[in-house]
Structure 1
């Protein structure tokens, strides 16, 4: 029972008469029910002429309810019930708005300004929630005649709550009386039109539940998104941020499917949430859905996905690839204004390349930046956790809060020295331009890159030095690039085969479960060689040390004296999700992770921090629509391991100078 109702008085402002206080909470609930019933009978009938009534459409588990206001669907959840007490009154459901007053006099102007602010800042709130206006304050407030007149003109009624009810969050509320009184938070249900989510999720009764509702026309998942107004006054750095989570991270109450139907049948729901994801929640983030991944987070190309339909890229003609692995997260950020961040993982290039294909910001942090307990592994030595965002400043804010030292991964997991991450440091002085990775294949995209570099060097006082990255690796490590790649392959195969592959195959033996192309032969014929894995880790440690001493090194003035550039995309050419569309000189299939031409290999093996950055767009001709569309152009910036926050400072400074910009959702990254 809500304690703020005890011995409290309610006012029905339209009636202009104070309801006498009652001595018991149950009596107050009955009086509340009476007031609500009278509000409905006296005022809401007239409101129906100007706004949509609540239509309860579906009961889910417990007290969770789906309802409609006009053509828009919402979810009210039992975990968010704010008052609940048995009561014998007629069933009623009203869409209400709670306003926490910050003034002693609630005037019509104050009410109007607040409603306009709600409409301007929140996509869940609408005028349909003005059937009843609930007003509370931390101190005694008076509702004057102008406020009552405004409410009447809106076809609404004001219900003034006692001061203690200010702990009720501001914003849209579903008010129900069906044998009890419940004030519940609501979420708007958005349709995942780009097929980027496995399902929506919501918190109910202390755990998370999948929302198994879909759009009836196309079967797209519905994603529950709570009001942004609920986080007003919350000082936490991620308060109210809506976050999607790649479906390799455990979330309590949900099944982690790893993009595999056979794996989903084998495992049960997670009993706890991965520390990395719990940290997001503790920082104020709101988890809204599990997002698609290629099977076991592989590098499978779009046409190689079997169990899960490949996400659709909002950019250009709508037929571009989203890359692999964390593809769902990248393309959701490119497609939906209602989503703020998406959590991915990056072993080979699984955040960085999807970010490039979708034209959004995405990072691979320094190796060891995040505890990955409760996350499906590929390689304990090279797995990392990254994030997608549309705004470089917002990504930096998220990352600074999320990558706390208390969640750093120990050297016993990755074989590298324990991580030291300075919070500040001087900006890099040089830009390394690898001639074996650049220029971009599309001359128009290379022109965008050169214009970007001209602005960066002038604004930041930097110089550009051309190097051959492959030759540099061989010279500083003293071994061939093929040997370097072979060790990376050993690291990538060992952990996942041991922790995921072998248990998976044993469970289905003597049958062989359905798997995507990258695993059909590799897992069937592979053996575990612990000693070779350890030797590869030792060689990687040596290579990483010398790389960060001789190439991406620090000085007294700079955490990372240089930034290395490379292209993780397709050189400014489109890459389509249908294989045959990539034939010919005007399209391209991306370089596979861990190959000689893949610049992403360096950060994956050496543990450096790496960031995908949208810098512009170029036109391309679509073989599907037979029209010209826009393709994002991105570049990657890599710095010394441990210099993540300094790179974020650098990126933010470029944003402050107008050199980097937030990207938009939809067909064009920049409009």
Structure 2
């Protein structure tokens, strides 16, 4: 009786344990390269006699799928381009599975898997187990630059989970699928494009941090995905993870202001320059990793454009209101926009078309008037030379006339009955971001945190605290700030940013982005303050017009980190009338095709590439 009862209890325990166990995927190593195999197989190959002798030492066998037609299969020719893929490697040639032909390969020394697949398999690398289950191969890369808050993987029901895998590198492991699996179509123009998402956008199944540890743990995983992200997913994009943001999307400078989370590392130059913010992770990751194609950031006062400038990337602040920002943390809803960072302008434009949908139209009739703001006219350094050459090339390309325009003087002359522009707009941005975020983010956050922590306050970084505290003491209202913004917007949209029925915008407006200046992350900074003032970068913010960063080259500086001459990006900004986003994308694409603009490289230099100084072997 005792024995029988003991066995019965044991059986119950085993049954209970088995019921609770589920696969979260597998991590395997092939020739010292780590891979993640998603938990669900994508197919089963039945009747494969070769499997019985292939699993003496391993749970999984790597193999390559090739597609072929005809009587002979030249495997070498069919796989010649596979080496360009960053997931496939020669180790996957341990066996092949020929799809589309019933005939044996010409190279008989290869192990050929026979049997029938339950579904058509895309070409590329896979793993198979003894039962014939086929798994995709997702290569694991280390986020050595600290660009991600959390890696992610889709779980097949429209939601995502945290990637349950790791690899060497002291940071998160990010998994990416083989590009060979994907074919772009009209319905899926971003098929296989790998995108990182700023951690202010909700993704169903994942927690959102907004750069704050208390927020991350206080709230449950999101039950919906933000529209900009969902639009990218619907177009076929592969979401690989959430990316570092400065806290509550406020502008923070490394290292002093970053307390809850560490700022990502800018790969350019000596590797210890500020990334700019708040889309810090997007800028760092896109400039560092060849396996990451695009990053989704947000731009309220410069949070896409700043990281694009200091890391030498293509980046855009769009016309305001192109896509809903539901399920996205607000800084100021009247200013917030979703923007993209990329190295290649064509991929950048394709992602933008998918994300903004019908609200963006690509047009190729361009203005023949260029208005420059604070553009250099004499060459005093390398940055001046790059900027002057670029203006000359664009002027020639468009057969345009370029003239200098003074925004401040023109506004003051047209609005003599109000204060000068720099005074009139001095508080506008600060009022909007502090008062709107206090109402929409701080107050409900503090109340929710206090409710579960006996009335306590959560930790908040110095910058948001300083800004919110200032806003609390202001008698000016959001309505006052919106009124001033509207006056400037109306004037700008009627003058130098006026629309045109023929060319969308009467003028192309250009101003200087970055000039290779340094902001070392090991500097001791003063206490944070409030973002007062008005500058060229605030024009698009207040006028609601598109403002795009393009990389031009790089300028030398003497690094106090390395004791050597290093190089940092030089960039320009292009603006046009509201709604002319498609025209700007098209123009930048044509300038790229003409060789006036170049693709930005990953690594230490956006021009020549090269290993980040942290690395020595080029491996990621």
Give the TM-score normalised by structure 2. 0.86
Change in CA separation of 1:330 and 1:440 when aligned onto 2, cut-off 3 Å = farther
Secondary structure class of the residue paired with 2:441: helix
Q: How does 1:568-579 map to 2 (within 5 A)?
A: 568-569=513-514, 571-579=515-523
Q: How does 1:352-391 map to 2 (within 5 A)?
A: 352-391=305-344
Listed as ranges, the matches of 1:128-207 within 5 Å are 128-137=91-100, 141-144=101-104, 146-147=106-107, 149=108, 152=109, 156-162=110-116, 167-177=120-130, 180-206=131-157, 207=159
In the TM superposition, what is the alpha-carbon distance from 1:63 to its structure 2 partner? 4.5
Q: Does 1:648 align with 2:585?
A: yes
Q: 1:280 aligns with which of 232, 240, 243?
A: 232
User: C-alpha separation between the residues in 2 aligned to 1:440 and 1:213?
Assistant: 54
Q: CA deviation at 1:616?
A: 1.3
Tell me the distance in 2 between the aligned counterparts of 1:116 and 1:345.
40
CA distance in 2, matches of 1:531, 1:596: 16
* Alignment correspondent of 1:229: 180
Distance in 2 separating the partners of 1:240 and 1:567: 34
Deviation at 1:441? 11
Q: How many corresponding residue pairs?
A: 571
More off after superposition, 548-557 vs 659-668: 548-557
1:74 matched residue in structure 2: 35
Deviation at 1:306, TM superposition (A): 0.7
**Cα distance, 1:519 vs. partner?**
1.9
Q: Deviations over 1:611-664 (max 9, x none)?
A: 011111111110011001111100111111100101111111211221101011
Partner of 2:35: helix, strand, or coil? strand
Pairwise CA distance, 1:161: 4.6
2:281 is aligned, of 322, 328, 334, to 328
Kindly indicate whether the alpha-carbon contact (under 8 Å) linking 1:568 and 1:598 is maintained by their aligned counterparts in 2: no
- Match of residue 65, structure 2, among 98, 106, 117: 98
Deviations 1:478-532 (A, max 9, x none): 6332222323322222332112111122234443322111122433564499993
Query: Which residue of 2 is the match for residue 610 of structure 1?
Result: 547
Q: Which residue of 2 aligns with 1:14?
A: none
Gaps of 5+ in 1: 1-59, 409-420, 584-588
RMSD: 2.8
Matches of 1:667 and 1:442 in 2, distance apart?
25
Q: Is the 8 A contact 1:78 1:205 kept in 2?
A: no
Cross-structure match for 1:117: 81
In 2, the alpha carbon distance for the partners of 1:81 and 1:314 equals 37
Contact 2:576 2:584 in 1 (8 A): yes
- Aligned partners of 1:135 and 1:161 also within 8 Å: no
* CA deviations over 1:155-196 (Å, ceiling 9, x no partner): x3112454x75622221111113xx44211120000111111
Is the 1:477–1:543 Cα contact (8 Å) retained in structure 2? Answer: no
Contact 1:442 1:572 in 2 (8 A): no
Correspondence for 2:194 = 242
* Aligned residues of 1:125 and 1:171 also touching (Cα < 8 A): yes
What is the alpha-carbon distance in structure 1 between the residues aligned to residue 115 and residue 79 of structure 2?
18
Greater shift, 531-540 or 644-653, is seen at 531-540
Long gaps (5+) in structure 2: 1-20, 609-620
Tell me the SS of whatever aligns to 2:504. Answer: coil
TM alignment of 1:624-635, pairs within 5 A: 624-635=561-572
TM-score, structure 1 normalization: 0.80
Change (3 A) 1:396 1:97: same
Which residue is 2:215 aligned to? 263
* Aligned counterpart, 1:43: none
Alignment of 1:398-437 (within 5 A): 398-405=351-358, 422-424=361-363, 426-435=365-374
Provide the C-alpha distance between the structure 2 equivalents of 1:276 and 1:636, rounded to a whole number of angstroms.
Answer: 23
Aligned residues of 1:194 and 1:312 also touching (Cα < 8 A): yes
- Answer whether contact 2:27 2:165 (CA < 8 A) is retained: no
The change in CA–CA distance for 1:594 and 1:427 in structure 2 (over 3 A counts) is farther
